[in-house]
Structure 1
Amino acid sequence: MIAAESHIDIIPGMAGLLYLVFTLIFCTMIYTCIMFLLSAASFWIIKSNALHELVGSIERLIEYPLNIYNLTIRIILTTILPFGFISFYPSQYFFSFEDNKPFIVCIPVVALILILLSRFVWKKGLQTYQSPGA
């Protein structure tokens, strides 16, 4: 962001820096929960490596702005695999895109939902887990 700042007209100020720290924390939580949920899927899916590879391919889509994709991809990257909340929506704060303000505000809510979902899936997985060993 520091390198890009010299090439674009963004002056974050104190509010922007606080927002950056705030979103870094919540975006890290979101990403960690997504990866944790994928790993927890191995309780039910024997060959979960394929699932990790599929999600890794989908994850590469967030290297570009979500608004270049069709509506279906945007919905998937916002709701089912909320990678959009890791990169696209937080960056919209600095570009003042009004139509994405609700998503910008929802970042902590998405993090909380994913934390609760991760905990639930982990507990369910532990209940159904059977050791492959003797």
Structure 2
Amino acid sequence: MHPFRTAVEARDQNAMEALLADNVVFTSPVAFAPYPGKPVTAAILRAVLRVFENFRYVREIAAADGRDHALVFEATVDGLQLSGCDFLHFDADGKIDAFTVMVRPLSAAQALAARMAEEYPRIQQEAREAIEGKTSA
């Protein structure tokens, strides 16, 4: 089992963040533009842990070279079942540098979009605090 999957299933936010490259780019299933950088990606992942109910990975697919993984998941958002996939690409240091999520069906994706929109101010605040903490250190 991949360490990222292990971290997510354990809800270990520190371990999840430790696996992200500083230059990671997160591509959301419910937002047009990707989100660049570790602070915002980590904040998004924390929000997802708050929004998804009954989250579980059901399949893991890995490229032979270990640089690409697909983690298929199921979860519930506001009573709607969804299935999706986390597509992860790893840099030469083994850190996630590209993180793309896709979900279905549309009704669950819309519920996810609404719930993540509610979380967005907190995501922005957490990312800003992480950036400010790094620049003042």
Structure 1 length-normalised TM: 0.30
In terms of fraction of residues, the more strand-rich structure is 2
Q: Does 1 or 2 have the higher relative contact order (CA < 8 Å, sep 6+)?
A: 1
In terms of fraction of residues, the more helix-rich structure is 1
Structure 2 length-normalised TM: 0.30
